[in-house]
Amino acid sequence: MQYDIQHISEITKATALLHNKNTVIEHLATDSRRIAFPATTLFFALVTERRDGHAYIAELCERGISNFIVDHSFDNTPFTEANFLVVKNTLLALQTLAAYHRQQFAYQVIGITGSNGKTIVKEWLYQLLSPDYTIIRSPRSYNSQIGVPLSVWQMSAENNLAIFEAGISKPGEMEALANIIQPTIGLLTNIGEPHSDGFASPQQKLEEKLLLFTNTPIIFGRETDMHSCSHQFKTSQQIITWGNAAGNACVIQAIEKAQLTTIINLVYHGHHHQINIPFTDDASIENIIHCWCISTQLGVAASTLQTRINQLQPVDMRLQLVHAINNCTVINDSYSFDITSLSVALDFLAQQQQQTNRTVIISDIPATSSERDAYLQVIEMLKARNIHTLITIGEHWMAFESLLQQSFPLLQQYISTDAFISQFNASHFKNEAILLKGGRVFGFEKIVLLLEKKVHQTLMEINLTAIAHNLKEYRSQLARHVKMMVMVKAFAYGSGSAEIAGLLQFHKVDYLGVAYADEGVELRKAGIHLPIMVMNVDEAAFSAITEYNLEPELFSFPIFNAFLQFLQQQGVTKYPVHIKLDTGMHRLGFEAADIPQLQHLLAHNQYMIVQSVFSHLAASEDPNEDAFTQFQAAQFDESCKALEATLGYSFIQHISNSAAIFRNHQLQYNMVRLGIGLYGVESANTNQVALQTVTTLKTTIAQLRQVPTGETIGYNRRGKTTRPSTIATIRIGYADGFSRRLGNGVGKVYINGQLAPVIGSVCMDMTMIDVTDVPQIQEGDTVEIFGKHLPVQQIASWCQTIPYEILTTISQRVKRVYVEE
């Protein structure tokens, strides 16, 4: 559906400053990095605590964007060829436009809220109902104040059912989302612990979430949640609850779990049903009941539902990025296929800077009411992202061969996934980023196996969404003018320097920090153009530093003079450098007594520009050392003032590390350095921190064996069974970074919901675990070494070390998998 710019002006009650009154808008954008169709995009300049969208308007105009919604603070005078709609609040304008758009459609809209399961239920409903309906749904978990209007904007006359989820983090947010979604069917999944921080109590959280359904005719939910808020419902609303009590519309009579399946016996509106589901965990059972009730309400027969439930699979709501053959990277997003999720995946592909060539392997599009238009839309999306190689799989793409040949430098077409596999040649894929996007029935996981590097089953999973969340948490602590340098030294604390740097560049951090010049060189080769400070500089690195535009830390007179001489020899002037001061760490840096000589060297120095002066706090995380922290800051202030007086210009000043960002707000100066805190490890132990787990180290069970009492396990017979025992050998050892200090019962791992101790010594490639007390254990089961259930801090404690060491000693032979939720 299209709107002309004047109509949008009327809807949002904007003051219109129009250069071209005939402009037609098809796309909305709030992120300057995610714009594919400039000519028909309307950009909303949103203002948040850390970012002001108005700051990107000049850049966007250069990229061909000419339609903007701005607030009264923006001066549009220099932009004479663009359309501007001026409003009081740009976020409210976005929500108002989306709400108006929603009102144009009379078909059923399912609104989902709750603490857990929203996205899974949405995706399963889509799978269960898509044979009967043409569905538009929220992409991934677009359920926020911004995500919901962008989701609803995708509604069109081609659809006859919509499914949207709504999430809130504090009171007062749901009214806006309810006005946008206007659900005709409501579902409350459940009320649990997630996202409780912004609410005074679980009851308040429940009441706020139920505001989504203020005007919803039919509402579904668990009896335990719905009955406690019965006062919020109107007599005209139909409340359909499920639970064990006889008064529910859906009475759960029995749940019988087998090894891989569960049987649910229930009575729904007086009729008995038995549901067999291919899951055994409680969350999946609950989610299936939600889906069964709503699907039945929408007229799907019980027998048909059973057939479709049998075909359900666990929904992986994450993009996965893995290293692949011949210096390629693979982005696996093949759990489902729709236009909106394709756009999200293409944005993620564009974010990867390691390879310049981009390849998309794409399946036929699930059936739509206007099939040809859908294919043409996908082709335009791919062209807009400058895709070099397109590989299509499926019969329907064959009809577009001529158009595809005109649109892409390289085209390959296959009738099926098996046809692609039969002709697969690994040498055809080199130095490229490859996105796999296909419907589940096409089995693209077989293609992933062909493209992946062949490594053993131990892997480190790095959650890019958690990194973005943690970055936001730290940014929320900063004053508006304060810049941020993020440390990506030591392979980004074991997480992978290029991948993490690419994400940080996407999120517009100001600086990166590395330990050695070769780390910076690798980042430049991977397409990172942010300023990079090199902390440990020697003369052998000077050429690489200047060749790759890296910025050295100068910490002593010998290194200062050597780099100065190098610049003079090369005829390089005004090269950016960073001056390190030692204020009490006593590791590297100029001391207070060195400042006069340093002033002399810097005075009238045409070869160097001091980009920053900084120091390192020795104990910022420790309240007992706050006096020493303040002593360091006082020394730092005095030296900076002296250097600034000599130079005659201002420079960046920074002393705060991760812990100090939270604990010492007064020491932010005009930049801070974020290190291990980005990766979810905070040493300050402050209640202000709401960090997410970034890194999960996993392996699998290679073999199980039954060992009698009194037998010994492993090298030197150091492990001994004291009872008949089940011993699991797992695929990780000290060569992977699983420390020998964890042997002989010191360390534990997490398997099937509980901890199991190491027995015997840790071997180079394998470790033995006592799993006698672990239920339903099987060979091939996943084992968490550290992660969400077993924090890396606990591993460090068992090893009598710090999390830094645990993370940075994970071997390079351990496969890194990057996920974005």
**Catalytically annotated residues:** 489, 715
Using an 8 Å Cβ cutoff, are 157 and 324 in contact?
Answer: no
Query: In 269-311, which ranges are continuous DSSP H helix?
Result: 282-297, 302-310
**Dist. CA 55–CA 60, nearest whole Å:** 10
Judged by DSSP in three states, 646 sits in helix
**Dist. CA 171–CA 608, nearest whole Å:** 53
- Packing angle, helices 282-297 and 302-310, rounded to 10: 140
Query: In 416-496, which ranges are continuous DSSP H helix?
Result: 417-422, 445-451, 464-475, 489-493
- Packing angle, helices 464-475 and 497-506, rounded to 10: 50
Beta bridge mates, 329: 323, 433
DSSP 689: -
Burial class (CB in 10 A: 0-12, 13-18, 19+), 5: buried
Six token digits for residue 157: 């006359």
**Dist. CA 625–CA 585, nearest whole Å:** 13
| Residue 764 labelled as part of a binding site | yes
| Residue 385 labelled as part of a binding site | no
How many angstroms separate the Cα of 359 from the Cα of each of 78, 353, 386, 725?
39, 13, 10, 51
Using an 8 Å Cβ cutoff, are 32 and 21 in contact?
Answer: no
Judged by DSSP in three states, 380 sits in helix
**Dist. CA 645–CA 63, nearest whole Å:** 41
Query: In 552-667, which ranges are continuous DSSP H helix?
Result: 557-570, 595-602, 626-647, 658-663
Six token digits for residue 51: 């970012």
**Dist. CA 61–CA 55, nearest whole Å:** 12
**Dist. CA 118–CA 124, nearest whole Å:** 10
Amino acid identity, position 717? R
Q: How far is CA 107 from the centre of its chain?
A: 33
Using an 8 Å Cβ cutoff, are 697 and 786 in contact?
Answer: yes
DSSP 517: H
Using an 8 Å Cβ cutoff, are 747 and 757 in contact?
Answer: yes
**Dist. CA 682–CA 621, nearest whole Å:** 9
E strand map for 72-126: 83-87, 108-113
Using an 8 Å Cβ cutoff, are 474 and 673 in contact?
Answer: no
Beta bridge mates, 257: 262
Judged by DSSP in three states, 158 sits in coil
Six token digits for residue 516: 């050695």
Beta bridge mates, 782: 700
Residue 347's nearest CA partner among 302, 313, 384 is: 384
Judged by DSSP in three states, 284 sits in helix
**Dist. CA 458–CA 813, nearest whole Å:** 9
Pairing label, strands 328-332, 319-324: antiparallel
**Dist. CA 531–CA 551, nearest whole Å:** 7
**Dist. CA 135–CA 83, nearest whole Å:** 33
DSSP 416: S
Using an 8 Å Cβ cutoff, are 167 and 86 in contact?
Answer: no
E strand map for 205-308: 218-222, 238-243, 250-257, 262-268, 271-277
Annotated binding-site positions: 587, 764
List residues forming the annotated binding site for substrate: 587, 764
